[in-house]
Amino acid sequence: MNKLLRPFTRNLGFTITAVVVLALGIGANTAIFTAVRAVLLKPLPYNDPDRIVVVAETNKRGVRISVSGADFTDWKAQATSFDAIASYGNYSVPVVAGGSPERLNAAAVNTGWFTAMGAKPVLGRLFDPAEEKPNSEKTALISDGLWRRRFGADPKVLGAKLKLQGAMHIIVGVLPAGFRFPGKTDLWVPLGLFPDSSTRSAHNYRVISRLKSSVSAEQAQAEMTAIAARLAKQYPESNQDIGAAVVPLHTTLSENAKPTLYLLLAAVGFVLLIACANVGNLLLASGARRRTEFAIRAAIGASRTRLVRQLLGESITLAALGGVLGIALAWWSKDLIIALAPSEIPMLSESRIDWAAFAFGVAVSMATGVLFGLFPALQMSRTDLNDALKSSGNRAGVGGAGTRMRSVLVCVEIALSVVLVTGAGLAIRSLVELQNVSPGYDSLNVMVADMAVPAENDAGMRRSIRIYEEFLRRAESTPGVLAAGAVSTVPLSELGSSNGYFSREGQKQMDRSQSAGFHTASERLFPRSRYSAALRPNVH
Amino acid sequence: MQLFLKLSKTDSGVDAIAGIGIGIAASFLTGQLLRRYIAEVGPAEPLVFAGVPLLLGAVVIAATLLPVIGAIRADPMAAPRWE
């Protein structure tokens, strides 16, 4: 051990530089690997997750869109590929539980949804199909997190009430820790599908199903395509060009993050290669100084294999030190990555520096040690005894193959750095340009507040309008506020807009080739934000 | 400019210029691969392709000059006694 560490303690500056450089490379790779594993490689934390599929409708461009209520009802009646098929919608709502209000993510789900997800409550029961009827008693299921936070993990929570959208809901069950689907949901309520959903062109639901164990995703896709074709023939007015797509849930959750993660993996791979070239160079430089030492070892009988082995041992030890520090860095940066990453990347918050990440870090360290150590080792062990012993340590190693190799390493290192920095430069330029894209309105000094006033019926609707009007009036009379307006969703926000077909004045029939995204807005919204193009139709 | 010309004739200058040249050529290729990740700018954005060699050139010059400055400052009496 002493012999192994001697070269490092003797040249502490070199050792520290090399270990830090290697730690940065190995740490970055371990951190990104952890993210890749969490998002792309790990199965979803649900029961038999490979059989959970999302069923969506597709528009004429083949893009997946939400499902209309009536189409879903027909799917459910006709499809035989699934153990369960259920529709749901999710939204963010103010909930009053035990006194104070809190905005929570809620999902409205119908019968079979929990079967499709394979989720069972740890406490209480799931919904009864009768609870989907409009006039039945309102019930709710809560997440383990909400149960602990608001009810102190009290088992007597069953039967407790929470107020949501103006109505009291009785808590009938608690779902297991870690079950938050979809997104970060804390509250599930029964979804009463309007059976009289008169228009098939209103795509408001998402659909999730569990494949029968005997049915493959391809077979289910074939069946759904046939059903969609039948519906298109039956209801050409609304369903022409509307198809159906069966996609594994894991794919729908990870497909947007996938290219970004691969790009990051490539980038940190480059960083590691640069670190290798750098440390390889340092080793060659220090090797020049140790030439006499090796000549003496060779003179007293050490074979070349033995010298290579010694040098490789040294570089692997160096890499192991870098690896330990690197894994520590990855562990420390994990929470930083989760905090900085966009919340749309699901499963990322589940990333852990576990045995797999640790094994990856160790494997990368070993490979790194061989990669940067092998060539210097071969180089340094090929010593001309006579020459080396005669010359002083300082002059040795100048000129010849050692210098050529160092030139190549410097060249490679700079080239890799240019590629990496150019890539980063392009990404930064792109980000800057994207931030300068005008959203069509002047967003400077515009503040946004989220507000939801429940309205269950016509009377509630009139009441909520009065509340909004009063709110806007008071907001405008606040000193410093020039104008206040309300809008269904903020234009260009991630919430999107509503979509509808429109016809021009004088046109008798609705022209289905014209559809536009729209927002419902109050009178005073536009003058302030100068959103003159707000109602300009977005014709496809 | 004179400094740059002199530096370009040193060993590290040649290595650096070769490295930056290869790097720029490779960046044009990787820029094409990056197309799907970037918006509003082309894969051969001039500002980036001009700025990066300048930046790394400055890094190389600093990395070459710092040890040299250190060597010049070394005490001529103490230096031969090292090792």
pLDDT at A528: 46
Query: Is A421 within 8 Å of B55 when comparing Cβ atoms?
Result: yes
Residues A484 and A420 in one domain: no
- Tell me what percent of the residues of chain A surpass a pLDDT of 70: 84
Q: Smallest Cβ distance to B38: which of A403, A430, A437?
A: A430
Span A426-438, pLDDT tens digits: 988 888 888 877 7
* A363 found inside a domain: yes
* A52 found inside a domain: no
pLDDT at A385: 64
Highest mean pLDDT among A59-68, A442-451, A495-504: A59-68
A434 reaches B (C-beta below 8 A): yes
Chain B CA closest to residue A427: B38
Residues A286 and A422 in one domain: yes
Span B43-61, pLDDT tens digits: 888 888 989 988 988 888 8
* A378 found inside a domain: yes
The closest of A234, A204, A208 to A67, measured between CA atoms, is: A204
Q: Which residues pair with A161 in a beta bridge?
A: A170
Mean pLDDT of chain A: 83
Q: Of A367, A402, A434, which residue constitutes the final position of a domain?
A: A434
* Res. A397: pLDDT tops 50: no
| Structure tokens given for B13 | 């200058």
Q: A residues 3-62 near B, CB within 8 Å?
A: none
* A127 found inside a domain: yes
Distance from CA of B2 to the nearest CA of A (A): 23
Q: Of A213, A241, A269, which residue constitutes the final position of a domain?
A: A241
pLDDT at A257: 85
Distance from CA of A424 to the nearest CA of B (A): 9
Residues A232 and A83 in one domain: yes
pLDDT at A346: 63
pLDDT, average across residues A228-255: 91
* A465 found inside a domain: yes
Residues A172 and A77 in one domain: yes
Residues A168 and A308 in one domain: no
pLDDT at A403: 75
* A442 found inside a domain: no
Using a CB-CB distance cutoff of 8 angstroms, which residues of chain B are in contact with residue A397? none
Highest mean pLDDT among A36-40, A192-196, A207-211: A207-211
**pLDDT band at residue A210 under the 50/70/90 scheme:** very high
Chain B CA closest to residue A410: B15
Residues A223 and A269 in one domain: no
Segment among A52-66, A86-100, A505-519 with least mean pLDDT: A505-519
Distance CA A157, CA A140 (A): 11
Distance CA A500, CA A492 (A): 17
* A449 found inside a domain: no
Q: Of A418, A434, A450, which residue constitutes the final position of a domain?
A: A434
* A446 found inside a domain: no
Distance from CA of B76 to the nearest CA of A (A): 16
A401 reaches B (C-beta below 8 A): no
Q: Which residues pair with A104 in a beta bridge?
A: A93
* Res. A534: pLDDT tops 70: no
pLDDT at A360: 92
Number of domains in chain A: 3
Residues A207 and A316 in one domain: no
Residues A10 and A148 in one domain: no
Distance CA A350, CA A182 (A): 15
Query: Is B37 within 8 Å of A259 when comparing Cβ atoms?
Result: yes
Residues A300 and A398 in one domain: yes
Q: Can you give the residue range of the structural domain that contains A354?
A: 2-43+257-434
The closest of A316, A477, A290, A313 to A393, measured between CA atoms, is: A290
